[in-house]
Amino acid sequence: MLIEANKVVSLHYRLSEAGHDVAEDSRGGAPVVYLHGHRGMLKGLEDALAGKKAGDTFTVTLPPEQAYGPRRANSVQRISIKHLINPGKKKIHYKPGMMVQVNTAEGPRNVVVVKAGLKTVDIDTNHPLAGKTLVFDIEVVDVRDATPEEIAHGHVHGESGHHH
Ligand code: ZN
């Protein structure tokens, strides 16, 4: 079965920044699962995955424009620590370089702490991978038809998917 719109795709990936060591490897856990054609995956990756099948392995290099966009200048903001997402309500010692999440109109967003104070942090609102050329080593693990419900919702249900 080939990957096209409304197929549920399971894959493993290794992500590295071009010229650097591997930064992320999904093989430590379950495969990543997404519904093809519903913007659940980086556009450049989806384009590369189209037409592939289970067992296929390939490498795709995405320039920033096809990945997380260019880095924007003047993107450092000072915000109150209470606006950082902290599900466990734990006491966290924020440090420069730490990745945190803030709530935005478009949902939670990963940002990087540039400077930490007692009650505020300076965050860089660029995506941590903005401005970077990314190399993905992909292994397609499984391709299946999505259920009508999954297509209607625009995401995968069941194991590794949404539970609701
Ligand atoms: Zn759903």
For residues 77 and 64, membership in a common domain is answered with: no
Given this model, what pLDDT does residue 80 score? 93
The CA-atom distances, in angstroms, between 93 and each of 4, 78, 160 are: 45, 17, 31
Pick the residue with more confidence: 57 or 100? Answer: 57
Cα of 121 from ligand 1 centre, angstroms: 35
Entry pTM: 0.75
Secondary structure (3-state) at 48: helix
Given this model, what pLDDT does residue 128 score? 81
**118 CB burial (10 A radius; 0-12, 13-18, 19+):** exposed
Pick the residue with more confidence: 46 or 23? Answer: 46
Which range marks the domain in which residue 25 is found? Answer: 7-68+130-153
For residues 30 and 64, membership in a common domain is answered with: yes
Mean pLDDT value across residues 70-88: 89
Given this model, what pLDDT does residue 88 score? 80
Cα of 156 from ligand 1 centre, angstroms: 7
Given this model, what pLDDT does residue 53 score? 98
For residue 164, pLDDT beyond 90: no
Cα of 160 from ligand 1 centre, angstroms: 12
Residue 164 lies in a domain: no
Cα of 149 from ligand 1 centre, angstroms: 7
Given this model, what pLDDT does residue 32 score? 94
Q: Which residues surround ligand 1, an ion (CB under 5 A)?
A: 153, 162
Number of domains in the chain: 2
Percent above pLDDT 70 for the chain = 100
For residue 89, pLDDT beyond 80: no
Q: What angle do CA 83, 115, 130 make, to 5 degrees?
A: 80
Per the structure block, which two tokens stand in for 58? 């390939």
Per the structure block, which two tokens stand in for 67? 């990945």
